[in-house]
Structure 1
């Protein structure tokens, strides 16, 4: 496409140019003067780039593409911050010298107050894509330029920078602004996708062929259906500003219950669905569970990383479990212990005090963390979760702190920002922090102290503002004594410590069952209650997997009972019934039993009983006892790691770690 055409008498909007000239006069600029434009010194420019790292990272590939489209037109592509200071430039070699004469280079401010009417400064003030051509510039020195600029907004509508193409006036083309606008929107969409890594995203447009293109609407929702944000195209299609949309539930925006869309997306990932906007316009939509992306072998890392990637179905299940349970109010289902915990947590609403959540695996630690985030002023920002037990030790560092391009062989091009930077402005949830290696504990401690993070292989410290919630099923005090957990980190993360009870210790089992069944999508022929016999059987079970196990049992049973009024005993999974019969709850048992009582094997089946828990044992002795219990459970279950983990209420990775330790010590 040619970028040359006849120059029209007036390019920019006359009213915008006139208002910009008036502002230039008001700040005392004179059209004939040549102000002193010394660029920022290298350290200051480096610091500015660090403050705008996310913008720069996502804009760079788009700038390269845009430059390729306008190459050989005596022009250059410029990226600025929200104050109009140039962060980066890409230009034709034959135009660079001319650009330098007017200080069109990194580190120089092109704000209106410094340079008068110009596309960058005027677009940032006006908030709209702007062309300033030749004599429309306020300063005579800049009238050799023709410039097209579009502001760039973050996922919450705040202007964070601008993208500009500036060149020789003879290279003016009316289509340049369209290219710049499209490129700015691409950057915004990249920022949007990176911001909402744990969200459910809805892609939509009135025309199916625009799904997956630059023009599709993008709306992000938390797993409980709370609206988070929308891109420019979505705002245009909704016909409402972002502030209005933040107050509306999913069904008001799309004319259907959120849980129903979740269920449909989980059953048929990638399949189009039809939704209705508030205006009555019907749109074609595609939902996706934007779970955190782990670096897989296609990026040059080991296949081990790929094994930890959540499938769409798994993400759907987690989203459905969390829906309607993501606020402190909805988590209160009548148990006195849980109610007391929620009241204590609620007192910290709006205070960035770290919270440490203790409890056995599956007791709802992530549900509580999400509720804490949802009920805080940070609710519109990201909630980013990382399970420290689900990743190999070698990957935790890269996932949490990120890494620079070339940090290690085969790593993803341009690196990865890491979970800490992804959580900037929001909440970082570190599950099973007791499984974090000591080396990473040291680095995390430094992040919490300095509120900055340095990616693996990098030298730049990136500022971060986040709240941290941690969880573990381990006894961290005993780990401190054993030298496997840092004491200074412990006191950094336990501003408030709460312990969630195991499911068998709770008094609200019936209410929990009712709540979980109520989450099932409207329109599905799935039962909303269980029979008295089923509830009685539930009360007799040990529930080693706690709330997670209950959710899975109910999900399977609901499908088996589809079309019936209620779930009966015959609808329950066979292995669950066998577990209940083999090891019923001892009604004489006291709350918070030892792990030995949590394992099966003493239910009269003639097999070996687990080793008795040593009273007042040292951490080393406790580790030995736990290893023995895991070994006995594995032997009894013929080496089935998944079954052993489920029975003991442990993460599978924990069982594998004990196996690795056993192989090296025996």
Structure 2
């Protein structure tokens, strides 16, 4: 994507008087910034401050600003391609001036590092005095700070052009900067930076409001689809949501003032009229009039009328009982057909995860699922695919940990005939190509060999696959979901996982709670039993078994619970209830030997803690059940039972009357 420096910018060309006023305004701005620098306690003779926020803090900042980084990284590459070999560096910063990412000529990167102009270093005014990044962020406007205009002498060898970047809601989210040697600066650099920043803002804006009524407009139709087009978005009923900076300029109102408007008040027609005007030709521009009288050419992105009506509040419209019943039935059917909703079993953590997933559905945002082994990451990935517009296309799962390292490259990318010894006669299609049009699920992505991570990154960037031994690339269209139980940030710090791949994959990161952390255990267990014993859906668990389960730590999570229940169903024969006698011996022995986990719905930490409290009153049923089970396992031996539970023998004897008489040896 190339930035066209000839693209018109909507601003007046200043005359001589205007230029003088502009220069005076800039001089005042620099003087005020220098005064602030002095107030911050900075001395102009200070040496360059190399102190960084640390690698872990930088990774945390990158994670916090991943939405900005994802949209800025490709634009930075395009910008750098236009200034390459000019002894310059392109920088992306957070809203506080912390440098997040840099691209530059190798010789100038070395020079920049000597003045601490590198990732992990903060370039706010409070830290570095007057400089393009810090001052532009403070003033919330693009600035060029050259040579002696810098407050610190150490920075006066630089010329810096910086533009703040605003998020879709009008808040400063970061800054884009090009810094070069003051002897090699170019007059057009600030314009390039401004337009690149505007490109980033528009990308973030359209993604954030991709599902809303979007109107793109300009007074001249040839400027539709360019950086200078105005973009304004509304809810289905015409409520104003947001506008990009070009729209604010053309309308002549700030974002704050626009929030008081609706579609009708801005364009002078009801929203129903908009549907009539555009009809089926939403891609064709039409002329509308702004409330100021300015005529603009518009293109509209909107859903069909029927879909918009689903989003409207129809509570004030008269409705018959039958139509309401039909709507209720349709809603229930929709929930039943939703794979994600099926996984929503009442746990607040899971409900929050599913809400986030539903919000990004069909927006081609990569999803990363974190969680311990066995927490259902694969089920969640399948549900995401099943609820998406790609549901009718392939869902291809690749377990990066289970495929031998020598085979994973050919499995992922495929190969041509004769690519290597032992290759199939006609070659093989790789998993990525098999997923074309659908979803590629990369399970245990943390186990992917590092040498393949670069190839995967290239596929994600170019959307093309090059099979082994092939002379040409194959285009692919895949939605990416990945999962891991590893700490990828720690792996990045250790050099085991590529940082650029990490930020390409984690468009939305969700974490699945461990089974022991969930509050919906009973419903989950019943769901599993229903799949294992469908002919007898009434099969259940005795209270004693449920108490044991709720207090167990479940290191294998759902996979362990599923396998255990499968054995128990066979033992019980689907005859109504699973009791302790149907549970495997190794599980019962483990229960007796390991500390009990805290149940989600109970303040009790474990049975031993309750038993050691002489003033606790009657023991909770869970505690009694666990104590009884441990006594059975040890054939009524109080000494070994007390040791297993971590309590005194007297504690158990004091509870003797509360325990079943048949458990004593």
Q: TM-score, normalised by structure 1?
A: 0.50
CA contact (8 A) 1:12 1:132 kept: no
Residue of structure 1 equivalent to 2:88: 75
Correspondence for 1:321 among 301, 304, 309: 309
For 1:123, what is the secondary structure of its paired residue?
helix
Residues 1:178 and 2:169 are matched in the alignment: no
Q: CA RMSD in A?
A: 4.7
Aligned partners of 2:393, 2:318: CA distance in 1, in Å? 36
Residue of structure 2 equivalent to 1:60: 73
Residue of structure 2 equivalent to 1:274: 287
Cα deviation, residue 60, structure 1 = 1.2
Aligned partners of 2:334, 2:23: CA distance in 1, in Å? 68
Q: How many matched pairs?
A: 388
The change in CA–CA distance for 1:200 and 1:463 in structure 2 (over 3 A counts) is closer
For 1:483, what is the secondary structure of its paired residue?
helix
CA contact (8 A) 2:93 2:175 kept: yes
Residue of structure 2 equivalent to 1:19: 32
The change in CA–CA distance for 1:196 and 1:484 in structure 2 (over 3 A counts) is farther
Residues 1:131 and 2:131 are matched in the alignment: no
Cα deviation, residue 38, structure 1 = 2.2
Residue of structure 1 equivalent to 2:461: 413
Cα deviation, residue 230, structure 1 = 0.8
Larger radius of gyration, structure 1 or 2?
Answer: 2
For 1:167, what is the secondary structure of its paired residue?
strand
Residue of structure 2 equivalent to 1:239: 252
The change in CA–CA distance for 1:477 and 1:256 in structure 2 (over 3 A counts) is farther
Alignment of structure 1 residues 474-493 onto 2, 5 Å: 481-483=529-531
Alignment of structure 1 residues 590-629 onto 2, 5 Å: none
Residues 1:200 and 2:252 are matched in the alignment: no
Cα deviation, residue 464, structure 1 = 6.6
For 2:217, what is the secondary structure of its paired residue?
strand
CA contact (8 A) 2:102 2:118 kept: yes
Aligned partners of 1:18, 1:177: CA distance in 2, in Å? 21
For 1:77, what is the secondary structure of its paired residue?
strand
For 1:20, what is the secondary structure of its paired residue?
helix
Cα deviation, residue 394, structure 1 = 4.8
Cα deviation, residue 278, structure 1 = 1.7
Gaps of 5+ in 2: 6-19, 339-357, 363-385, 398-437, 446-452, 464-480, 486-498, 512-522, 534-573, 575-665
Alignment of structure 1 residues 482-561 onto 2, 5 Å: 482-483=530-531
Residue of structure 2 equivalent to 1:359: 332
CA contact (8 A) 1:11 1:131 kept: no
Residue of structure 2 equivalent to 1:388: 387
Residue of structure 2 equivalent to 1:187: 200
For 1:183, what is the secondary structure of its paired residue?
helix
Residues 1:109 and 2:122 are matched in the alignment: yes
Aligned partners of 2:60, 2:273: CA distance in 1, in Å? 47
Please list the CA deviations of residues 167-186 of structure 1 after superposition, one character each: whole Å capped at 9, or x if unmatched.
Answer: 11112233211111111001
CA contact (8 A) 1:156 1:229 kept: yes
Alignment of structure 1 residues 249-260 onto 2, 5 Å: 249-260=262-273
For 1:100, what is the secondary structure of its paired residue?
helix
**Higher RCO structure, 1 or 2 (CA under 8 Å, sep 6+):** 1
Aligned partners of 2:286, 2:25: CA distance in 1, in Å? 42
Cα deviation, residue 321, structure 1 = 2.6
For 1:234, what is the secondary structure of its paired residue?
helix
Aligned partners of 1:99, 1:173: CA distance in 2, in Å? 18
Please list the CA deviations of residues 287-317 of structure 1 after superposition, one character each: whole Å capped at 9, or x if unmatched.
Answer: 123xxxxxxxxxxxxxxxxxxxxxxxxx324
The change in CA–CA distance for 1:408 and 1:173 in structure 2 (over 3 A counts) is closer
CA contact (8 A) 1:51 1:463 kept: no
For 1:482, what is the secondary structure of its paired residue?
helix
Cα deviation, residue 158, structure 1 = 0.7
Residue of structure 1 equivalent to 2:168: 155
